[in-house]
Amino acid sequence: MNYFQLFDIEVSFDVDLNHLSQTYQTLQKTVHPDRFAHASSQDQLLAVQKSAEINDAYQTLKQPLKRAEHILTLRGAEMPNEQQSFSDTSFLMQQMELREMLAEVKFADDIEAAFEHAQQTLTQEYQQLLDVMHKQLFENNTAANALACDNLRKLKFYQKLNIEVDRLEDSLFDD
């Protein structure tokens, strides 16, 4: 299933999120249950399935990492199994340090400053890696796609870190 096709846009990492959201609304209207109130149960079922598909497509295209993964799958790039361990030692060492940095925020003298520094560091590194993957996706050849797959796997570690940052923010500044 090509989600870009479903949304009638070209396969590209660059998507207009406003346009995407509008198309989503328009597509969902075409399969809204109200329109199928008097339809056969088979047509009702098909409409529900189509609605779920449109939903999946929207969630995939909206989120940069899911979008990148979808593009790479469409291109037939070899995505390593999600469960397969990742063993780029220097990258993982760095990830460990970033996690230690986050764990130490709450012991800092100036917690707010330490948190902001941690958040900035992570955002910056995530964005840099995302930019690199963006260029590789744009190149669209076998070698570049393989590199993009590799960077996508790295970006998933950052995604997890970002969740941790949000959690930390809640625990530190929630009153």
Partner 1 sequence: MAYSEKVIDHYENPRNVGSMDKNDPSVATGMVGAPACGDVMRLQLKISKDGIIEDAKFKTYGCGSAIASSSLVTEWVKGKSIEEAGKIKNTAIAEELALPPVKIHCSILAEDAIKAAIEDYKSKQG
Query: Which residues contact partner 1 (rule: CB under 8 A)?
Result: 82-83, 85-87, 89, 91-93, 95-96, 99, 153-154, 156-157, 159-161, 163
- Which residue, 41 or 89, has its beta carbon nearer to partner 1? 89
Least distance from C-beta 107 to partner 1, angstroms?
17
- Which residue, 28 or 159, has its beta carbon nearer to partner 1? 159
Rounded CA separation 47/31 (Å): 5
Residue keyed to tokens 């500044």: 173
- Which residue, 23 or 60, has its beta carbon nearer to partner 1? 60
Least distance from C-beta 84 to partner 1, angstroms?
8
- Which residue, 96 or 108, has its beta carbon nearer to partner 1? 96
Rounded CA separation 89/22 (Å): 43
Least distance from C-beta 94 to partner 1, angstroms?
10
Residue 110, helix vs strand vs coil: coil
Q: What is the phi/psi pair of residue 165, to 5°?
A: -65, -45
Residue 56, helix vs strand vs coil: helix
Rounded CA separation 58/16 (Å): 12
Q: Return the structure tokens found at 104.
A: 């130490």
Least distance from C-beta 3 to partner 1, angstroms?
21
